[in-house]
Amino acid sequence: MTMPQPRSPQSLDHSRLWDKSVVESRINDLTIVITSELALEDSRKRADELKRDFKPVTPYPYSSGQIRDRFSQKARETALELLEIERKNFVDYKAERIKTVLNTVLKQLRYLVYTRDEKGKVTKIEVFIENIPKPDNRGNWVNTDIQYVGDRENRDVERLEQINRVRDRLSHFTDYAPYFNEELTDLWQKANEMASLEVIRVDKNTPSQPSVTESLETLEPIDIGAD
């Protein structure tokens, strides 16, 4: 029996392994091939048994519909197992690259999400949501929610945008995470924990928050690159 083998990880990419429509098409194709292989193997076993019993070998007695009923479920399960092997092999192949990016993300987040308060204590910044009047594209003033870190006198929207860009970069590895080795899993969990910030809604009666002005590291934002 010649079953399909895992594809080389060098020939694969994220869309070929996780894009829903691409994966479903791949599974369907594999299921058809594996079903045929299972039926062929069953036919050979049947023929061998008939020969062993000195009986004439008659044609395989199952129609295409009966073959699907007998083997398609097992074939689909085998196809899904093959996909899991390919995903794991692909993540292992990319492990060093992923490790580099996760370490860079951690460095970025340390720069962006920690500060020292007025007493010199290390604290994690918080995200504030405030409803303020802003002009729309017609020049009318409407109340709009804005998010920022810092205080009302120094709403640091740019810093929050930087954090969100790093978070977005981190989210690119969500599909890979179940296949991480122990080292990558540890980095992944640390990065997600660091990227998790408390969100507080404030109004005009809420006391002003301390300004976020000093980072723990004098570090410029880093371009962490593409996959």
pLDDT in tens, 87-124: 999 999 999 999 999 999 999 999 999 888 778 888 88
Report pLDDT for 80. Answer: 98
Taking CA atoms, 57 is separated from 26, 40, 45, 50, 204, in Å, by 35, 14, 11, 6, 89
Residue 146 CA to residue 87 CA, distance in Å, equals: 40
Q: Is 190 helix (H, G, I), strand (E, B) or coil?
A: helix
Neighbouring-strand partners of residue 115 = 123, 215
Report pLDDT for 208. Answer: 52
Report pLDDT for 206. Answer: 55
Give the containing element (helix H, strand E) for 38. helix 20-52
Which stretches of the chain drop beneath a pLDDT of 50? 210-227
